Amino acid sequence: MARIAVGGIHHETNTFAPASHKADLDDYLKGGAYPALSRGPVMFDAVDGMNLTVSGFFDEARARGHEVVPLLWCHATPSAHTTERAFETIAGWLFDDLAAAGPVDALFLDLHGAMVTEHFDDGDGELLRRARAAVGDRMAVVSSVDFHAIVTPAMMENATALHALRTYPHVDRAETGRRAARHLHDLVRDDRAPFRAWRKIPFIISAPCQCTLAEPTRSIMAILDDLEGGDVESLSFTPGFPSADVHDLGPTVFGYGRDRAAVEAAVAALAEEVEGREAEFAGAWLSAEDGVRRAMQTAARASGPVILADTQDNPGGGGTSDTTGLLKALVEQGATDAVLAMMFDGDAARRAHEAGEGAEIELALGGRSGIPGDAPFPARFTVERLGDGNFESHGPMMAGMTYHLGPMALLGTGGVRVVVSGTKAQALDQGILRHLGVDPAAQKIIGLKSSVHFRADFAEMASDILVVLAPGTVIADTSLKDYRKLRPGVRLAPLGPVSGGG
Ligand SMILES: [Zn+2]
């Protein structure tokens, strides 16, 4: 039996998001749609039964007879940089608590892998560097990372092993935690460090093109499964988070095992598979106007809703979740039985609650983040439904979690209704609509501020899914992004122009 300290700090940083949307200490303390920051034994209850990596890790490590020592776990909604104050405060707590925990045999960290702070471009690498410094060279430090992790030399060098999610939508978080726990169990039992190999892929993949339900990623993940096993204890493919402008941005293949040659061969084979399918990662998207037009045509004869993914305002990618381009296109084209989720506008939610259900209010909705081409959307709205923002998730990604989003409202204008909330959260769960009395399957058009995660809960009912581009901070066409820190020689999109470095 080993004594394993467990901690987690999660942030996915969109360095292109407005500086007014940074992740400060309060964002970590509250957690947004995820559990609030927890420290010490309350962590067990905070994450129990959830589809979180740390939850799966706890279950598996305890099932194998280990003592787990909870340090600290927190998550901030994706946004611009994590502030120096937030990082240093929370990292300070984490390592203080580790020091106070007494002797431990191993450390597990539940990280995202794409955190950029005001003072470190590689926030996760810095955490792992401090972890290694705290526990010394010999102790096993295993970490889980997101499918969107941007793997760096500091992460590889300081972690004994990293384990990445294998799904996007991320339905396998808890399973990844269990997998990491099994690996850590083996490493501690045998008192050894595994051999590792890793390779960066020389082109950037836009988030909507990374989905594991679609090609080419679906078959790449199947090949990963086939290559893993025997002397190859773990293999990962992380396409990366393209909205973080950092030196090491881009996909990575990495693996660990008992035999150096076997690990190197598996990593090379998987990397060559990814590189060989570069053209298939190219994006297919429409303008918001064309998307709405096509959705209205399809919806007129289809049985299920057409879903419009408002990908460039996905708060899960650091979008401000208040852009109005898709709303404008829906209203201007006279869409009916259409609903858009979720507009982050606390002021509108508050005014709707003051006015009451059935009231009519004049609002300039959303559009307050100063994004070029975006503006508030003025209209007379009917307050169709109010909610307190407390509801359960039953979707595959967030199952078992209770949302606490604060006052919410369903506002209608013409045939279009908008879900408004004072808390930013990605529209990936049907519960967000059901909470306000909207039956998703009965809609003709559903606009969602999400890139891929919504597919886990919505794809089955959809008659079609279209990715649409309205002004927002999560630029889908990565060749248009103004990368400044990327290392030289990386293609900015599949088969696209090459970065000059800088
Ligand atoms: Zn992710």
Q: How far is the CA of 384 from the centre of ligand 1 (A)?
A: 33
Q: How far is the CA of 101 from the centre of ligand 1 (A)?
A: 31
Q: How far is the CA of 111 from the centre of ligand 1 (A)?
A: 11
Range in 173-177, 181-185, 397-401 with the lowest mean pLDDT = 397-401
Q: How far is the CA of 380 from the centre of ligand 1 (A)?
A: 37
Domains in the chain: boundaries = 1-193, 195-283+480-502, 286-476
In sequence order, the β-bridge partners of residue 232 are: 229, 257
Q: How far is the CA of 300 from the centre of ligand 1 (A)?
A: 34
Contacts of 136 (CB under 8 A, 6+ apart): none
Question: Mean pLDDT for the chain?
Answer: 96
CA distance 179 to 196: 17
Q: How far is the CA of 156 from the centre of ligand 1 (A)?
A: 19
| Domain covering 195-283+480-502, topology | Alpha-Beta Plaits (3.30.70)
Q: How far is the CA of 170 from the centre of ligand 1 (A)?
A: 7
Q: Is pLDDT of 318 > 90? A: no
**154-173 burial by CB neighbour count: b if 16+ within 10 A, else e?**
bbbebbbbbbbbbbbbbbbb
In sequence order, the β-bridge partners of residue 79 are: 13
Q: Average the pLDDT over 103-107 and give the result.
A: 98
Q: Is pLDDT of 500 > 90? A: no
Q: How far is the CA of 454 from the centre of ligand 1 (A)?
A: 12
Q: What is the pLDDT of residue 327?
A: 98
Q: What is the pLDDT of residue 167?
A: 97
Q: How far is the CA of 12 from the centre of ligand 1 (A)?
A: 8
The CA radius of gyration of the chain, in Å to the nearest whole number, is 22
Q: Is pLDDT of 479 > 60? A: yes
Q: How far is the CA of 333 from the centre of ligand 1 (A)?
A: 33
CA distance 251 to 151: 8
Q: What is the pLDDT of residue 255?
A: 98
Q: How far is the CA of 313 from the centre of ligand 1 (A)?
A: 15
Q: Is pLDDT of 250 > 50? A: yes
Proportion of the chain above pLDDT 90, given as a percent? 94
Q: Average the pLDDT over 260-283 and give the result.
A: 97
Q: How far is the CA of 231 from the centre of ligand 1 (A)?
A: 28
Q: How far is the CA of 238 from the centre of ligand 1 (A)?
A: 10
Outline where DSSP puts E strands in 347-413.
360-365, 377-387, 390-392, 402-404, 408-413
Q: Is pLDDT of 86 > 50? A: yes
Q: pLDDT by residue (tens digit) across 192-216?
A: 999 999 999 999 999 999 999 999 9
Q: How far is the CA of 77 from the centre of ligand 1 (A)?
A: 11
Q: How far is the CA of 164 from the centre of ligand 1 (A)?
A: 10
Range in 24-28, 255-259, 317-321, 466-470 with the lowest mean pLDDT = 317-321
Q: Is pLDDT of 38 > 50? A: yes
Q: Is pLDDT of 163 > 70? A: yes
Q: Average the pLDDT over 347-353 and give the result.
A: 98
Q: What is the pLDDT of residue 465?
A: 96
Q: How far is the CA of 22 from the centre of ligand 1 (A)?
A: 18
What string of DSSP letters covers 297-349? HHHHH-SSPEEEEEGGG-GGGT--S---HHHHHHHHTT--SEEEEEEE-HHHH
Q: What is the pLDDT of residue 59?
A: 98
Q: How far is the CA of 112 from the centre of ligand 1 (A)?
A: 8
CA distance 204 to 208: 12
Q: pLDDT by residue (tens digit) across 44-82?
A: 999 999 999 999 999 999 999 999 999 999 999 999 999
Q: How far is the CA of 331 from the centre of ligand 1 (A)?
A: 31
- Neighbour order of strands in the sheet with 140-145: 38-39, 67-75, 3-10, 106-111, 140-145, 161-164
Q: What is the pLDDT of residue 502?
A: 47
Q: Average the pLDDT over 408-425 and give the result.
A: 96
Q: How far is the CA of 449 from the centre of ligand 1 (A)?
A: 15
What string of DSSP letters covers 3-19? EEEEEEEE-BB-TTS-G
Q: pLDDT by residue (tens digit) across 87-101?
A: 999 999 999 999 999
Q: How far is the CA of 65 from the centre of ligand 1 (A)?
A: 31
CA distance 494 to 473: 20
Q: How far is the CA of 147 from the centre of ligand 1 (A)?
A: 5
CA distance 157 to 452: 31
Q: Is pLDDT of 117 > 60? A: yes
- Neighbour order of strands in the sheet with 232-238: 195-200, 252-257, 232-238
Q: How far is the CA of 409 from the centre of ligand 1 (A)?
A: 28
Helix%, strand%, coil% for the chain, nearest 5? 35, 25, 40
Q: Is pLDDT of 426 > 90? A: yes
CA distance 434 to 344: 18
Q: What is the pLDDT of residue 489?
A: 95
Alpha helices, DSSP H only, in 159-286? 173-190, 217-227, 260-276
Q: Average the pLDDT over 157-179 and give the result.
A: 97
Local confidence band at 32 (pLDDT 50, 70, 90 cut-offs): confident
Q: What is the pLDDT of residue 399?
A: 81
Q: Average the pLDDT over 220-244 and give the result.
A: 98
Instruction: Dig out the tokens for 347 from the structure.
Output: 């002021």
Strand, helix or coil for residue 250 = coil
Q: How far is the CA of 87 from the centre of ligand 1 (A)?
A: 20
Q: Average the pLDDT over 319-341 and give the result.
A: 97
Q: Average the pLDDT over 166-192 and give the result.
A: 97
Options 3.40.50.970, 2.60.120.10, 3.40.50.2300, 3.30.70.141; CATH for 1-193 is 3.40.50.2300
Q: How far is the CA of 456 from the centre of ligand 1 (A)?
A: 13
Q: How far is the CA of 287 from the centre of ligand 1 (A)?
A: 24
